[in-house]
Amino acid sequence: MSTDNLLTVSDFSVVYDVDPPVEAVRDVTFTLRRGEILGLAGESGCGKTTLAYGLQRLLRPPAVITAGSAVFHDEGGADIDLNALTEREMRQFRWDKASMVFQGAMNALNPVMAVGRQIDDILSTHRPGMGRGERRAQAAELLDLVGVGRDRLRSYPHELSGGMRQRVMIAMALALTPQLMIMDEPTTALDVLVQREILRQISDLREQFGFSVIFITHDLPLLLEISDRIAVMREGRIVELDTAENIYHHARHEYTRRLLGSFPSLTGERGGFVRGAHDDDGAVAVAGGTI
């Protein structure tokens, strides 16, 4: 897996123009590497979702991007300045090159449309050259891939469990094989076993397809297991960004240490450090085998 960069974010700032104005994202600067899982942690209200929406240009008034830039380094070699894209270009960019699984996504599916058709919709919009049969085969394959199974193509969202709906959302985000997936609290509503199963799948899929992930959650222990690097956000700023190992063992920022300390699971007996690590040929070796 190459180690070059996929996304460069510089001095990115977002303000909610209300009275008084809320500086939700302040001077955020980071790079995301190709194939990397970057965890974004921080307590409720620190600006995680605002940053994700800002990068995808999904913010609506009163939110305003007041400064900064986000440049996407396309696999074809082009640098795409996201702020410079027209609305139309941005719509094409989303799903296709960078998809998003929204916070509360379990409930974001259309309740009156079978899930197979919802996947089909994405394909027919973005891949107009694809025939009907080809789209159908692809939708079936995607449902297999995320562990829902093709026999659910005709199911409606209310006929699926929460975990299955979440996986359908992930299948939709994967549909166009994007280079980046931004996942905002994708599994928080699920029980721990289902959550881990889905995370293992994301990790496997990342290996298979080589996409990068920005994974947002307030659950720092979870991030320690799945992330290559972790950014800790507080009051709109990234206060610390380091490898998961360094965050766990040598957090430099007082706030990070407090975040780590607030999870009892990190101070009790743990089966070692269980994050997946790359070995030389790029495969994921999972120490402890829990993800």
Ligand X SMILES: Nc1ncnc2c1ncn2[C@@H]1O[C@H](COP(=O)(O)OP(=O)(O)OP(=O)(O)O)[C@@H](O)[C@H]1O
Name the residues that contact ligand X, by CB under 6 A.
Answer: 16, 18, 22, 24, 42, 44-50, 62, 103, 218
CB of 219 to ligand X, least distance (A): 10
CB of 49 to ligand X, least distance (A): 3
Strand partners, 231: 40, 241
CA distance 161 to 174: 20
CA distance 23 to 64: 10
Listed ranges 42-50, 106-114, 189-197, 261-269: which one lies at the site for Mg ion (CB under 5 A): 42-50
CB of 256 to ligand X, least distance (A): 16
CB-wise, 24 or 119, nearer to ligand X? Answer: 24
Q: 92 — phi, psi (to 5°)?
A: -70, -40
CA distance 178 to 183: 13
CB-wise, 16 or 156, nearer to ligand X? Answer: 16
CB of 64 to ligand X, least distance (A): 11
Other CB atoms within 10 Å distance of the CB of residue 2: 11
* Amino acid of residue 262: S
CB-wise, 48 or 152, nearer to Mg ion? Answer: 48
Per CB under 5 A, 187 contacts Mg ion: no
Query: Can you read off the two tokens belonging to residue 165?
Result: 């709906």
CB-wise, 32 or 233, nearer to Mg ion? Answer: 233
Listed ranges 49-57, 126-134, 146-154, 256-264: which one lies at the site for Mg ion (CB under 5 A): 49-57
Please provide the size of the chain in residues. Answer: 291
Distance of alpha carbon 279 from the chain centroid: 23
Helices within 175-229 (DSSP H only): 192-209, 220-226
CB-wise, 25 or 174, nearer to ligand X? Answer: 25
Is the Cβ–Cβ distance between 39 and 203 less than 8 Å?
no
Listed ranges 3-11, 97-105, 143-151, 218-226: which one lies at the site for Mg ion (CB under 5 A): 97-105
Instruction: Summarize as ranges the residues that interact with Mg ion (CB under 5 A).
Output: 48-49, 103
